[in-house]
Structure formats: C-alpha cells, structure tokens
Amino acid sequence: MTTNIHPTAVVDPTAELDEGVVVGPYAVIGSRVKIAAGTCLDAGAQLRGPCEIGPGNHIYSGACIGFEPQDLKFKGEDTYLVIGARNRIREYSTISRGTSFGGGTTVIGDDNLLMAYSHVGHDCQVGSRTVFTNNATLAGHVVVDDDVTIGAFSSVHQFCRIGRHAYIGGYSVITRDALPFVKTVGIRPACYGINRIGLERKGFTPERLKALEAAYRVLVRSKLSTPSALERLRKMTEGSKDVAYLAEFVASSERGLIKDPPGSEGSRGGDVG
C-alpha cells in the first residue's frame, strides 16, 4: 500500500506521511506534520504543524487543522496538536494548536465525528467517541470527556468541562461545567434528566440507569446545595462506578455546575450554588 498524493497537492518536504496516506487535489500539508497510515485528506484540506495525525482518519474538504491558536497572547511559540485514530473531521471544521500558557497541546482522541463547520479551540482536550454536530464550537481550554454529543450551533465557554456521556442540546450556551450522563439544553441551560436513550444505545443496563436516575434526583431535583448533594452522592457510590464518577466530577468543578431544572431561576440566568 503506497502513499497517494495528487499532483496538485502541496506537501512540505519536512512532512512525514506513512504508507497508505491519501492526499487529494489542492490539499496543503505544511512543515512538521506527521500523518499515520490510512489517513485520507480530501480536496482542499489544510494541515499545519507541529501536528501529529493518527491512523485511519478522514479529513474532508476545506478543513483547517493545526493552524495557529486564535488568541492574542500567542506570539509564535512552538505548540502542538495531536489527533488520534479513525476520526471523521468534516467540511470546513477547524482545530487549533495549543498555547504555551495553556499546556501547549490540543488533543483529540479516537473515533470522533466533527461535523461541518465545528471548531475546537486551543488547548482543548477532547476524548473519544464524541459527536460535534454542525457549528458546535469549543473555546480554548475546554475538556470534553468520552461519549459526549454537542448539538448544532452550541458553544462552550473557555475552561468549561463536559462530563462523560453528556448530551448538549442544539443552540445551547455552556458557561459552567455540564454534568456527565445528563441532557443539558438551552441558551440559559437547564438539565432535562439523564441521557437515557443515548445511554441505552451505549449498552447501559437497567441497574446502571436506575442508579444514575437516583443520583440525578439528588443533585438536580432535591433543591439541596451542591455540597449537601455531594455528601449524599458519596453515600450512593457503592457498587456504581457511574455515580462515583459523577460525584468526582461535581467535587472537582472549578467553574461551577449547570444543575438547574427547567424553569428554575438558574435556567433563567440566576446564580446557583
């Protein structure tokens, strides 16, 4: 299996392409880019380094990967982008390299789908098996755990975290940490229960779902303060790794949590403890 580079593509002589890489018409690969076997760049896709792309990725037309971070503090220092395996990065998506003050590296895991016009900002850490629907946008320094779905035209504020298996509804504005396993929706977002359908599709048993629903009621529906709810959650973690992860996520939040039920003061813009 040989590398297939279209004659109109521009490939910097310092770029490293493994066997089986396909580079389409008018694609551009800059200096210090490494691409592993089986990755395909469609027509007009652009990659800049330092950047490392794993095996089996498909980068579609017009995507701009590894460009300089969109940050006024960036002064041209060496920063990086690392992308794992089997990701599908659709038309005109953008992924920025890191910044020196943010850890230096933007990371994308494996088996993710970034739909057209989605954006991953500098220093973001994205897990595996996530779905970014069209125009989903991450500001800098965002952490997205595994198996998350971010709806169309949704934006996530810098330094926020999105917990594992979270579902962010379309047109949402996330300015605090979004709970794992939970549907979070809205311009002034609220929690709409656990992501039952998504979790069932991922193979969650009825017992796991029951434990998460009980934890959700404590955290969101009980009207307890976050410290009081966390204390009760910790008593519910025995035998449930999911609840233990949820409790750890709550305890480690630095920006605060979105845990407002629909129609509450928090979901209308008020502060929540």
Question: Does residue 140 have an active-site annotation?
Answer: yes
- Name the active-site residue from 38, 98, 110, 122: 122
Question: Does residue 76 have an active-site annotation?
Answer: no
In Å, the largest CA–CA distance within the chain is 64
With contact defined as beta carbons under 8 Å apart, do 134 and 60 qualify? Answer: no
Question: Does residue 123 have an active-site annotation?
Answer: yes
From residue 270, how far is each of 100, 218, 258 by CA, in Å? Answer: 35, 20, 11
Q: Which residues contact 203 (CB under 8 A, 6 or more apart)?
A: none
Q: Residue 158: left (phi > 0), alpha (psi -120 to 50), or beta?
A: beta
- Name the active-site residue from 123, 177, 242, 260: 123
Amino acid at 273: G
Distance CA 5, CA 270 (A): 55
Q: Residue 111: left (phi > 0), alpha (psi -120 to 50), or beta?
A: left
With contact defined as beta carbons under 8 Å apart, do 108 and 126 qualify? Answer: yes
Q: Which of 213, 222, 133, 116 is closest to 172 using CA atoms?
A: 133
Q: Tell me how far apart the terminal alpha carbons of the chain are, to the nearest angstrom.
A: 58
- Phi and psi at residue 231, to the nearest 5°: -60, -40
Catalytic residue set: 122-123, 140
